[in-house]
Amino acid sequence: MWKWLQYFDAYERHLAKFRGRQFTLLEIGVYSGGSLDMWREYFGPRCSIIGVDIEPSCRVYERPGVRILIGDQADPAFWAAADLPPLDLVIDDGGHEPEMQRVTLEALLPRIRPGGVYVCEDIHRRGDLFGAFVHGLSDSMNAMDEARVDPTDPERRYVCRATGLQAIASSIHLYPFLVLIELAEYPVAELVALKRGTQWQPFLH
């Protein structure tokens, strides 16, 4: 197993909620099988693990509770044909090329259950195209599409319809060489700024 040490604090912060639970983890990049054992040790026996690798020899790591799929993460057809259950956690430690990472994110993010987490490791370069793609996603989290203002409504000051990403993702986190996307526990239809208080100064209206 080969991991950057700074990843582990982020893993503990965002993934500890899965420990001891029954859930499904998919990891791209089996290689020598070390991380499969690490995740089993960390998450416990109730975790169902799916490993994905382009190397057919990685099937040797298949065992009860661990399923191995062979395929190219850069091929959308592979993901479309893959027999996958609903996922709770995806960790992309595969080919590390930006186009591979983008294809994988677009294919798997819709297959993660509410409350799940998407992780992409090893985003190493300044100007990395996948890093730029994620920054674009971060920017879309700030969109205010179809915002409505109704100053006569005693409960709501601003309401805007959630964009596609805002509807499913609660947050995007950037760490050195690492991206985590946390999905919302429930679908979000709109973002609301509540107005509270008994007296509002005229210059604030």
CA dist., res. 166 & res. 71, Å (int): 31
Report CA 146 to chain centroid distance, whole Å: 26
Domains contained in the chain, CATH given:
7-144+170-184 (3.40.50.150)
If 0-12 CB within 10 Å is exposed, 13-18 middle and 19+ buried, where does residue 166 land? buried
Beta carbons within 8 Å of 5's beta carbon, 6+ residues apart: none
Q: What is the pLDDT of residue 159?
A: 86
The position carrying tokens 């700074």 is 6
Least confident residue range of 2-11, 20-29, 144-153, 187-196: 144-153
The span from the CA of 174 to the CA of 197, in Å, is: 36
What are 62's two structure tokens?
A: 């298949």
Cα separation, 179 vs 118, in Å, equals 8
Cα 106 from Cα 17, distance rounded (Å): 24
- Distance, in Å, from the CA atom of 199 to the CA atom of 195, rounded to the nearest integer, reads 11
Q: Is 163 helix (H, G, I), strand (E, B) or coil?
A: coil
- Give the model's pLDDT for residue 109: 96
- Cα angle 58-107-69, degrees, rounded to a multiple of 5: 15
Of 96, 98, 120, which is closest to residue 176 (Cα–Cα)?
A: 120
Q: Tell which residue, 37, 34, 44, has the closest CA to residue 3.
A: 34
pLDDT at 2: 86
What residues act catalytically?
Answer: 96
SS3 assignment, position 39? helix
Q: What is the pLDDT of residues 67-120, one digit of tens each?
A: 999 999 999 999 999 999 999 999 999 999 999 999 999 999 999 999 999 999
pLDDT digits (tens, 9 = 90+) for 151-203: 677 766 788 889 999 999 999 999 999 999 999 999 999 998 877 766 666 66
